[in-house]
Structure 1
Amino acid sequence: MTYEEILQLPPYGVAHDEKRALLTRELLRLTRQHEERCAPYARMLRTLGFDASRVESYEDLPFLPVRLFKEMTLKSISDEAVFKTMTSSGTSGQAVSRIYLDRATAARQQKTLVRLVESVTGKSRLPMLIIDCPSVVKNRAMFSARGAGILGFSIFGRKKLYALDDEMQLRLEEIRAFLEEHAGEPILMFGFTFMVWQHFYQALRKAGVRLPLEHAVLIHGGGWKKLAAEAVSPKAFRTGLREVCGVPRVVDYYGMVEQTGCIYLECEAGHLHASTYSDVIMRRPRDLSVASVGERGIVEVVSLLPESYPGHVLLTEDEGVLLGEDDCPCGRKGKYFKVLGRLRNAELRGCSDTYAAKF
Structure 2
Amino acid sequence: MMDLTAWHALAPYALDHSAKHAMLTRGLLELTAHHATQCEPYRRMLEAQGFRPEAVHSPADIPFLPVRLFKQLDLRSVTQEDVVKTMTSSGTSGQTPSRIFLDRSTAANQTKALTRIVSAVTGAQRMPMIVVDSPSVIKDRALFSARGAGILGFSIFGRDRIFALDDNMQLDVDMVAQFLNKHVGSPVFIFGFTFMVWQYLYKALVSSGRQLDLGQAILVHGGGWKTLVNESVSSTVFRERLQAVCGISRVHDYYGMVEQTGSIYIECEHGHLHASVYSDIIVRRHVDFSVADVGESGLIEVVSVLPGSYPGHALLTEDEGMVLGEDDCPCGRMGKYFKVHGRIKSAELRGCSDTYAAGPNEAPRELSNGY
Count residues in correspondence: 359
Alpha-carbon deviations, 1:25-47, whole Å to 9, x = none? 01111111111111211121111
Partner of 2:20: 19
Q: 1:329 to 1:211 in 2, by over 3 A?
A: same
Task: Indicate yes or no: 2:315 matched with 1:310.
Answer: no
How many angstroms apart in 1 are the aligned matches of 2:86 and 2:144? 7
8 Å CA contact retained: 1:87, 1:143: no
How many angstroms apart in 1 are the aligned matches of 2:301 and 2:35? 19
Q: Give the aligned CA root-mean-square deviation in angstroms.
A: 1.7
Which is worse superposed, 291-300 or 5-14? Answer: 5-14
Aligned pairs for 1:179-328 (under 5 A) are 179-328=180-329
Alpha-carbon deviations, 1:204-237, whole Å to 9, x = none? 1111110111100100011111000011111111
Partner of 1:66: 67
Which amino acid in 1 is paired with 2:273?
L
- 1:158 CA displacement: 1.7
Partner of 1:177: 178
Q: Quick one: higher RCO (CA 8 Å, sep 6+), 1 or 2?
A: 2
Q: Secondary structure of 1:155's partner?
A: helix
Which amino acid in 2 is paired with 1:35?
A
8 Å CA contact retained: 1:86, 1:144: no
Q: Secondary structure of 2:169's partner?
A: coil
8 Å CA contact retained: 1:188, 1:217: yes
- 1:173 CA displacement: 2.7
- 1:148 CA displacement: 2.3
Which is worse superposed, 128-137 or 211-220? Answer: 128-137
Partner of 1:77: 78
- 1:150 CA displacement: 1.2
Partner of 1:162: 163
Which runs of 5 or more residues in structure 2 are unaligned?
361-371
Report the TM-score when normalising by structure 2: 0.93
Which amino acid in 2 is paired with 1:111?
K
How many angstroms apart in 1 are the aligned matches of 2:36 and 2:137? 35
Aligned pairs for 1:43-62 (under 5 A) are 43-62=44-63
Which is worse superposed, 281-290 or 161-170? Answer: 161-170
Task: Indicate yes or no: 2:98 matched with 1:88.
Answer: no
- 1:138 CA displacement: 4.1
Q: 1:208 to 1:139 in 2, by over 3 A?
A: closer
How many angstroms apart in 2 are the aligned matches of 1:137 and 1:143? 5
How many angstroms apart in 2 are the aligned matches of 1:115 and 1:24? 21
Identity of aligned residues (%): 62
Report the TM-score when normalising by structure 1: 0.96
Which amino acid in 1 is paired with 2:108?
A
- 1:334 CA displacement: 0.3
How many angstroms apart in 1 are the aligned matches of 2:104 and 2:147? 20
- 1:147 CA displacement: 2.1
Alpha-carbon deviations, 1:278-300, whole Å to 9, x = none? 00000011000100111111000
Q: 1:261 to 1:178 in 2, by over 3 A?
A: same
Which is worse superposed, 198-207 or 286-295? Answer: 198-207
